[in-house]
Amino acid sequence: MFDTTSPKDWKMEYTSLGGTGLQVSRINYFDNAEAYGNPRGNCEILFGEALKQLQKTDPYLYRRTDLVITTKFFWAPSGHPQSIQRRFDYSYNGINEYGTSRKHIMESIDKSLKRLQLDYIDVVYAHRFDALTPVLEVVRAFTDVVKSGKAHYWGTSMWPSWRIIQAFHLAQQYNLIPPIVEQPKYNLFDRHYVEDHYLPVFDHPYNIGTTIWGALDGGILSGKYNSGEVPKGSRLDKASRLTFFDPNIPKHKLEKLQKLQLIAQRLETTVSVLSIAWCLKNKHVSVVLLGATKASQLETFAAIKVQDKLTPSIMQEIEEIIQNKPKLDTNLYGPFFRIPNARL
């Protein structure tokens, strides 16, 4: 029997985003990107319209000062109706409508603010690393965005860790503003970014926070694919607009899912809630990003309570099922794990 208490009855936990004083949780953090939607940019438009309606309904509950609203720049909308959210599809984009050049960043912030109907954005991200644009140019551009008051902080998504370190030191050298957060992929099946690659930037002086995506591995950890079949209209459906998800579900994942399902049942929850709760247990995870297309999918907020049920013994059971814990290189981290972040 699953937990049927209302989310209103749950105690929300907040955490600082990286080394800042900004307090975030799954309930006050809203993720956008100029690339999201059909056509691109439509996600920001819909969010802006929805927020205005909610603020009319309850101005206090949805007051701007209590919300953390973010967006990301890399793949800009071109205005063409066929410019949709497809991976590596730039058919309808001009040469300067993607990347993180100063021109793109400065144009994107103004257009995003207009689509979102906002005066400022709390955190703006470089959606991917742009090998063509010098890192110093990126840092200068985001610094100017923040100093202009159009954003409060900036961060990165899926950047190489050494590039984040480079951005930090360039900011120190030239009296600019460094990134404060990284948005990497992280879930039960994809652990190497958060548990290995980004370990150096979680420490002082970088103090990078994370807002992780892919917690359900493209829906695989939702349990909807346990039979091995792909439901029509799901993310892995070939007819889906999200064609960059691989529709082929590895057999080893399905086998592990069935075992995870047994643990979920013992904890009186679902495998999707269990998967999110597992992510929340990692001290380096500031926010778990999730997208819902149905009201029923909001059950995942139960992960707030379920994470307390994940005792060391339960976590070890999960570890024995997935068997994919990154093995830290002792040449980098030392054989005695004197670095606190290495104790994972």
Active site residues: 36
CB 216 within 8 A of CB 275: yes
Give the span between the Cα atoms of 334 and 313, in whole angstroms.
27
Give the span between the Cα atoms of 210 and 199, in whole angstroms.
11
Torsion sign, CA atoms 64, 69, 74, 76:
negative
Give the span between the Cα atoms of 47 and 112, in whole angstroms.
11
Secondary structure in 3-state letters for 174-217: CCCCCCCEECCECECCECHHHHHHCHHHHCCCCCCEEEEECCCH
Residue 4 carries which side chain, given as an amino acid letter? T
Query: Which helix or strand (DSSP H or E) is residue 139 part of?
Result: helix 135-147
Give the span between the Cα atoms of 257 and 263, in whole angstroms.
10
Here the tokens at position 144 are: 């100017």
Give the span between the Cα atoms of 8 and 150, in whole angstroms.
33
Tokens 């030392």 found at: 334
CB 306 within 8 A of CB 314: no
CB 37 within 8 A of CB 85: yes
Give the residue among 255, 201, 266, 204 at the shortest CA–CA distance from 226: 255
CB 73 within 8 A of CB 127: yes
